[in-house]
Amino acid sequence: MNNDIQKNKLQILGNLFASLTHEIRNPLSVLKMNIDLIRDYQKDENEDIGDLLETSSEAILRIEKIIAHTLDFLRDNPDSYEYCSVNDIVSNSLDFIIPKAKKEGINIYTFLSSDIPKIKVVKNQIEQVLINLLTNSLEASEKGKIIQVRTNFDSENKKVNITITDDGIGIKNEHKDIVLNQFFTTKEGGNGLGLHVCKEIIDKHKGNLTFESEFEKGTTFCVSFSNYKV
């Protein structure tokens, strides 16, 4: 596809998203208010239903946060950058992914270094990046496979790194130059936007997104940041 057309498509998507999210916010808040009301009404009747309503309400909160942060991102609001613990960001993303991994029989192991300076980021966006990368790893893995998540501070190269390694299907050599392109997908029903959005977010943070992969062996994605405070 012609590069200009692709850029234009993304611009249109961006505008569409901004107006769409604006429209979604109102019915979403009605939904959340009603769920909270129903939960209060029936809280002594059935604990299971109470729990379901509670997680539904939390899910709506998360959607609201994503919308708010994405709108900030589209406007590139500098106020949304703050110093954050990389391990907290990883844990938040894992909370989101672990139930799915469990359901699919895939184990996730974490190796989080305790000695890491805080990085200056838009927290929610980096969580979104990790959720995208972890989702790809899950989708590349069959039951019984393992995903490893690591954090470390490389003081020599002055970088805070997060790596996600899977032993899934891997990326074919001929695809390595194009996997980050928007709309590239090898999945039925895939949209090919996940990695492109990851790259855009990491570029805005002046970080690096790299990967190594061997077809039918596995893949490691690495996100690194040099904007940190010791």
Ligand X SMILES: Nc1ncnc2c1ncn2[C@@H]1O[C@H](COP(=O)(O)OP(=O)(O)O)[C@@H](O)[C@H]1O
Among 127, 166, 167, 200, binds ligand X (CB under 6 A): 166
User: Measured from the CB of residue 214, what is the shortest distance to ligand X in angstroms?
Assistant: 10
The residue at minimum Cβ distance from ligand X is 194
Helix 123-140 vs helix 47-75: crossing angle, to nearest 10: 110
Q: How far apart are CA 194 and CA 132, in angstroms?
A: 6
Of ligand X, Mg ion, none, which one does residue 145 interact with (CB within 5 to 8 Å by kind)? none
- What is the per-residue DSSP string for 161-203? EEEEEE-SS---GGGTTTTTSTT---STT--S-HHHHHHHHHH
134 within 8 A of 93, measured Cβ to Cβ: yes
Q: Pairing mode, if any, of strands 208-214 and 228-229?
A: unpaired
Among 21, 93, 136, 163, binds Mg ion (CB under 5 A): 136
One symbol per residue from 133 to 162: x for binding ligand X (CB under 6 A), - otherwise; what is it? ---xx--x----------------------
194 binds Mg ion (CB under 5 A): yes
Measured from the CB atom, the residue of 32 and 124 that comes closer to Mg ion is: 124
Would you state the structure tokens that stand for residue 80, as one six-digit string?
A: 């949304």
For 90, the enclosing helix (H) or strand (E) is helix 86-103
User: Measured from the CB of residue 66, what is the shortest distance to ligand X in angstroms?
Assistant: 17
What residues numbered 187-206 form the site for ligand X, per CB under 6 A? 187, 190-196
Other residues' Cβ atoms within 10 Å of the Cβ of residue 144: 10
Count of helices and strands (H, E) across the chain: 5, 8
Of ligand X, Mg ion, none, which one does residue 35 interact with (CB within 5 to 8 Å by kind)? none
> What phi and psi values does residue 12 have, to the nearest 5 degrees?
-60, -45
62 binds ligand X (CB under 6 A): no
Q: How many residues bind ligand X (CB under 6 A)?
A: 22
171 binds ligand X (CB under 6 A): yes
Measured from the CB atom, the residue of 35 and 194 that comes closer to Mg ion is: 194
185 binds ligand X (CB under 6 A): yes
- Interface with ligand X (CB under 6 A): 132, 136-137, 140, 166, 168-171, 179, 184-187, 190-196, 219
- Interface with Mg ion (CB under 5 A): 136, 194
